[in-house]
Chain A
């Protein structure tokens, strides 16, 4: 089981596969623009969405991706599962595997669960977000969105600021990993309390010092329950220091990109309306998410034929 390919983290996949997947995502974006965006590539394959943590958006994105490739899909969301009745993770995975699953798409609140699951099944495992650790399809869709908007595969010299709760963010870890791997320069912007304890990435708490110069401003969602704890003071202090406000938006370069993985906390980390912000590519991220997930599923399960219209 250990020799099987999976898609669990950017580091594990490596730079060559990342570049290949970016090209494949571009191809899948083209497929998605066809009048009939459905291809028979994964006909007869079964993709199981195993979501132990609620995430409607990511689940729907994966589900749509699998269906556009003609895979059969099934979904286990934790609320309706026997996991709540005391069945172990392992029993759940082994039971579903016995039904004939080719790929598990796994979301769990705890880091490492996709690796644990890989030991209990012959199916491939796609990480749809594990704890604070990794969200590699998000990273792939973000890298693709940047590449697509800038019209170049060259990330060398690209300056990216990721702003917000880096410590508790699987998105921040995976996006930092993929962009650094591709040659970009990433800076984390957060108070010390919201950075990982030992952060290898350069960081600052002074958003205003770099907002006028960055190529990409990547805003993270801040969980409102972190406010008013030992991590961040309550009230508007976080918004004052770290949000994308109208005055900060005015300082952005016209050709820079504003990104957000969603869902947004409007009025907290973003107080401008992104639909009125020309630099925003937030909607494109959502669209590209389907293409990126198609690319990952096709890469793991597909054969070279099957991308023609079915």
Chain B
């Protein structure tokens, strides 16, 4: 028996073509046969039970912090890849705010190669827009593109200088590359710990106003209009941001956007217990924002769910709120949270978790594909009706800063197939 031959039996296949009860046979990394009740040959292939399950294209995360190189106390490419695979992801875009920064060929190649060695998902490094994410000097876009970088971002901070951002868009656009913005006008958020609103006023914590995000969303939409170059807007968190993107799309601009599971499930009220696990950037907003972001995902204003998976060691989250670093885990809970709070069908969920982000990340040749003969076998098998709670001690991630302790989640990944190999079988990583 070889691991390269798999048969998924009894599942319901969901992709852009609809929902169909089909078995799926995989060999040498490719889907070789689909049909009703295919005959299994246990001597030649591994049979994976997908009875009652949803089978669809593996998820693609536009926004993962793998923390390696430099911050391997929080996460490594190995542990982050395992968390991704368990969450149903077959590809992740690794954010560039590592130490050193992913601003040169050497660091990017290190991340890419380490991802390949681990082999649990496609690790696609992003590049920073500016050297050291310092907002001053552009990185070598063309050199980085030559080693596989498609998405560039200074995530962790926004590019503050509008003139520089304009030049970066002009330069990236003609190379066919995508710039992604962390929208935050830093002059409005000095020292901010949480959303500026009723809750922060009561708690006496410095506020992060919604406008600090919306001003940069608006600025970059106008820069997109001026340059014609595409812009991707990271982790949108406010109602007005969603409106601005919706209007830009109506104008036909090449703007895309993502939203995180936590910005559609949690509000600033969570900070009332002064628990730094709920400190994140951009911050958790109000229920009205949560509802607006959900609507944006459902009506197409926002193209993708992206995790902003941001591991931090426990001691860092035990520091006073102003010192504790922002960010929360996301890879292993993204499906469970999204299914719980978004009232939609599986086709739409795959659009938001797989097809949409694959297109944006420039990975649509291998990920987010239809489940058809000849297609690369990057697939996820989901128990759709399982209700579960996250066990912070049982996560594959090296950190345990999940905000979802005690919250009921719905739907769970059973198997993940990456390049034709079963990397997760029955919720366990298969190394």
Contacts and interface: CB of A to CB of B under 8 A. Distances in A.
A293 interface: no
A111 B315 contact: no
Interface string A5-33: 00000000000000000000000000000
A200 B205 contact: no
B201 interface: yes
Interface stretch (B140-148, B254-262, B319-327, B420-428): B319-327
Nearest to A90: B318
A89 B318 contact: yes
B198 interface: yes
A57 B322 CA distance: 25
A115 B273 contact: yes
A55 B273 CA distance: 25
A134 B274 contact: no
Interface string B185-211: 000000000001110111111010100
A303 to B, nearest CB: 31
Interface stretch (A58-66, A68-76, A191-199, A219-227): A191-199
Contact of A116 (B196, B201, B315, B318): B318
A110 B321 contact: yes
A89 B202 CA distance: 24
Nearest to A118: B274
A113 B193 CA distance: 14
Interface string A168-179: 001001000000
Contacts of B322: 109-110, 131
Contact of B204 (A90, A173, A200): A173
Given A90-B318, A110-B323, A131-B205, A116 B274 contact: yes
B207 A115 contact: no
A108 B198 contact: no
Given A173-B204, A198-B197, A111 B319 contact: no
Interface string B309-345: 0000001001111110000000000000000000000
Contacts of A198: 196-198, 200-201
A89 B320 contact: yes
Contacts of B205: 111-112, 131-133
A89 B314 CA distance: 13
A131 B198 CA distance: 17
Contacts of B207: 197
Contact of A115 (B198, B274, B323): B274
B315 A170 contact: no
Interface string B31-42: 000000000000
A82 interface: no
Interface in B288-326: 315, 318-323
Nearest to A196: B201
Interface string A128-146: 0011111000000000000
B322 to A, nearest CB: 5
A51 to B, nearest CB: 14
Q: B201, B209, B273 — which one has the most chain A CB atoms within 10 A of its CB? A: B201
Contacts of B198: 198, 200
Contacts of A90: 315, 318
B344 to A, nearest CB: 33
B209 A197 contact: yes
Given A88-B315, A197-B197, A108 B204 contact: no
Contacts of A134: 204
A109 B321 CA distance: 10
Interface string B111-150: 0000000000000000000000000000000000000000
A28 B207 CA distance: 40
Interface in A230-259: none
B201 A112 contact: no
A173 B204 CA distance: 8
A197 B321 contact: no
A197 B201 CA distance: 6
Nearest to A199: B201
A112 B315 contact: no
Interface in A181-219: 196-200
Given A115-B273, A115-B274, A198-B198, A132 B204 contact: yes
A197 B204 CA distance: 10
Contact of A197 (B200, B274, B318): B200
B315 A133 contact: no
B318 A88 contact: yes
Given A89-B320, A90-B315, A116-B318, A111 B201 contact: no
Contacts of B275: 116
A253 B319 CA distance: 48
Nearest to A91: B315
A112 B320 contact: yes
Interface in A88-120: 88-90, 108-113, 115-116
A122 to B, nearest CB: 18
Nearest to B320: A110
Given A133-B203, A196-B201, A197-B209, A112 B318 contact: no
A116 B203 CA distance: 14
A109 B322 CA distance: 9
Contacts of B320: 89, 108-110, 112-113, 116
A130 B321 CA distance: 11
B201 A89 contact: no
B218 to A, nearest CB: 21
A171 to B, nearest CB: 11
A10 to B, nearest CB: 12
Contacts of B204: 111, 130-134, 170, 173, 196
Given A197-B196, A197-B209, A200-B198, A111 B203 contact: yes
Contacts of A89: 318-320
A197 to B, nearest CB: 5
Nearest to A113: B320
A133 B197 CA distance: 14
13 contacts: A110-B322, A110-B323, A112-B203, A116-B274, A130-B204, A131-B204, A133-B203, A133-B205, A173-B202, A173-B204, A198-B197, A198-B198, A200-B198
Given A111-B321, A116-B274, A173-B202, 11 more contacts: A111-B274, A112-B274, A112-B320, A116-B318, A132-B204, A133-B203, A173-B204, A196-B200, A198-B196, A198-B197, A199-B201
Which 10 A-B residue pairs are closest in the complex by CB-CB distance? A112-B274, A132-B204, A133-B204, A196-B201, A110-B320, A115-B274, A198-B201, A198-B198, A111-B204, A197-B196
